[in-house]
Amino acid sequence: MKWILPLILLLITIGCNGTQVHQMAVGTMNNARVSIDSAEKVGARDVAPTEIKSAEDMLTNAETSLQSGNDERAYRLGLRAFLHARIATEKALALRQESQVLEAQAALELQQQATEDVLKNLEKLKSERDAQK
């Protein structure tokens, strides 16, 4: 009789942990799907197609694992899918920012050249004015 109560508590604890893992797997897989969608919205499929493909494959495998009852594997695959999607997103955003920096540098160089031209013209006008005096 003394061992029945601890056994029941152990089974309840194990059952609760299994439910938590299942919930974590489902939540992680949902986060992975959102991250994949976000990555595609910022153009990651063009920049990092292998990461997006890997994320989608892992998410599909996670869903299969969840359906077969392997919650822990589903959680791990969902997490990896999420991370691959985030990597793809960051690569796309970094490429976009790098492009913006290059455009800004080109615009700055054009402005600097225009400023130099204006200064040269100003010097030319000053020398012409001094020559007329």
42 in a structural domain: yes
How far is it, in rounded angstroms, from Cα 7 to Cα 17? Answer: 15
Residue 22 lies in a domain: yes
Position 23: which residue type?
Q
Residue 117 lies in a domain: no
Is the pLDDT confidence value at 3 over 80? no
pLDDT of residue 22: 87
Q: Please tell me the predicted confidence (pLDDT) of residue 10.
A: 45
Report the pLDDT value the prediction gives residue 11, as an integer from 0 to 100: 45
pLDDT in tens, 59-94: 999 999 999 999 999 999 999 999 999 999 999 999
Question: How many domains is the chain partitioned into structurally?
Answer: 1
CA atoms within 13 A on the CB side of 8: 5
User: For the chain, what's the residue count?
Assistant: 133
Domain for residue 34, yes or no? yes
* 23 falls within a domain: yes
Residue 113 belongs to a domain: no
Residue 115 has pLDDT above 50, yes or no: yes
Q: Which domain holds residue 59?
A: 4-96
> For residue range 6-40, what is the model confidence (pLDDT) as tens digits?
545 444 555 555 578 888 889 999 999 999 999 99
Backbone angle region of 116, left / alpha / beta, with phi > 0 → left and psi within -120 to 50 → alpha? alpha
44 in any annotated domain:
yes
| Mean of pLDDT values over 102-109 | 93
Average pLDDT over residues 98-103: 92
Residue 33 lies in a domain: yes
Does position 131 have pLDDT exceeding 60, yes or no?
A: yes
